[in-house]
């Protein structure tokens, strides 16, 4: 093992969105989607609910400054 975290791996993915349209950081979106799916979320509504219900836990790993 090289000691990299999931967020370290996700953070190397290139951002292709137009900067002025970005509200949430790509690594935060991907981390949320992965962890919510592991927790059993199915679909974007459940992923969103997971994020809202677990925002304090998620903030242990990244800022999530826009929720």
pLDDT tens-digit map of 18-29: 888 888 899 999
- The pLDDT score that the predictor gives to residue 21 is 83
- The pLDDT score that the predictor gives to residue 67 is 86
Report, as ranges of residue numbers, the positions in the chain whose pLDDT lies below 50.
none
Residue 5 per-residue DSSP state: -
Q: What is the pTM of this model?
A: 0.85
Residue 50's nearest CA partner among 37, 36, 61, 40 is 36
- The pLDDT score that the predictor gives to residue 15 is 86
Question: Are the beta carbons of 67 and 55 closer than 8 angstroms?
Answer: yes
- The pLDDT score that the predictor gives to residue 19 is 86
């Amino acid at each position: 093992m090289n000691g990299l975290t999931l967020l370290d791996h996700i953070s190397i993915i290139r951002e292709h969105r137009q900067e002025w349209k970005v509200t949430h950081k790509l690594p935060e979106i991907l981390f949320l989607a992965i962890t919510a799916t592991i927790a059993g979320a199915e679909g974007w509504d459940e992923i969103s609910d997971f994020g809202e219900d677990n925002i304090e836990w998620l903030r242990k790993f990244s800022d999530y400054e826009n929720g």
